[in-house]
Amino acid sequence: PGSCPALCECSEPAKTVKCVNKNLTAVPADLPSYVRNLFITGNRLGQLPAGAFPAQRLPDLSALNLSGNHLWAVEAGALAALPALRQLDLSGNLLVSLSPQAFGEGSSPLEELALRGALRDHGALLSLATMLQSGALRNLSRLELADNGLVLLPAGMFTALPALRQLDLSNNSLVGLRNISFQGLGQLQSLNLSDNSLGVLRNSTLAQFRSMPALRRIGLGRNTWVCDCAIEDLVAWLKESDQVEGKETLTCTYPDKMLGKALLKINSSDLNCSVPVDLPSQLQTSYVFLGIVLALIGAIFLLVLYLNRKGIKKWMHNIRDACRDHMEGYHYRYEINADPRLTNLSTNSDV
């Protein structure tokens, strides 16, 4: 129980084992039972199979760092035999498969989960969302999802995390928060949304922020704010709220005439509202209006036809009679030309 695995460094007084940059392809099986802090980083584990950590052998392991191990798969039950686990770092791996049952069937005691740069694959993101929504990690107080290139997050991803206090979504490519619900995160204190591609925050999102009294730190720096008439609500909220850190540094990115202008210094007269913000909605309205106009024109045309039905009927009869007379003339000429006797008679008559 007190031995130290080969290629690892152990300290029993510090309750720590470090297996760093040793080209390990599997978790050492002979880890000492006293370990509380385990660092297995910079190796080539590849995958973390079920039972990767010996059952009942690591009763006190509370902090596990598995960053930078070229992990691509974490299978069901891989982390189930760690009853005291509170901190897990899987950052710097390229996860493709992340089983929603990685912590077993029940609820995990895990409090901090770091996945910085580990969710580049969309399937792994969906698996994480399924795991979080199942309530398996309902004890999480800190969740780090930075550096993952995320554009959109699955709807309702955070609804089963009542103990969450810190959420880091920085350095991604988030373009909006419309489908992200922060409802149920009553304990959330810190939300980092800096270094994304946010152009505006809608009223629904701002209303959620207002309803979260514990949320005192929101990071919004280095986003691509579009300063048109749609940003008025965000500007008004920034001016009245003390939740945003460094709000004085937030500046416009578009349009060019507003580039670099501080959001807090924007007035209604500065915004260009002549260009429709929601172009698809404007086009839909235009099509509806065009349809109504065409329907009115059609109705007026039918009404005119109905009111002049007698005159139109007489006009049609006149055309029919004129056509009949004309066709009879053609028929008479045809009969004369077809009969040689009538042809001579017609010729003599002409003479």
pLDDT at residue 42 tops 90: yes
pLDDT of residue 269: 81
Characterize 72-107 residue by residue with b for buried, 16 or more Cβ atoms within 10 angstroms of its Cβ, and e for exposed. bbbbebbbbbbeebbbbbbbbbebbebbbbbbbeee
Q: What's this model's pTM, rounded to 2 decimal places?
A: 0.76
pLDDT 10s digits, 107-137 = 899 999 999 999 989 999 999 999 999 999 9
pLDDT at residue 63 tops 90: yes
pLDDT of residue 351: 39
Over range 202-207, report the average pLDDT: 92
Sequence ranges of the domains in the chain: 9-270, 278-311
pLDDT at residue 280 tops 80: no
pLDDT of residue 324: 74
Residue pair 196/168 in contact by the 8 Å Cβ criterion: no
pLDDT at residue 341 tops 70: no
H or E element in which residue 12 lies = none
Q: Which residue has the higher pLDDT, 58 or 325?
A: 58
- pLDDT category of residue 330 using cuts at 50, 70 and 90: low
pLDDT of residue 284: 67
Q: In angstroms, what CA-CA distances link 231 with 13, 236, 271?
A: 56, 9, 9
- Nearest CA to 226 out of 201, 253, 203, 256 is that of 253
Q: Which residues contact 234 (CB under 8 A, 6 or more apart)?
A: 200, 201, 206, 225, 263
Per CATH, is 9-270 categorized as 3.80.10.10? Answer: yes
pLDDT of residue 312: 77
Residue 113, strand partner residues: 88, 143
Residue 257: φ, ψ to 5°: -70, -15
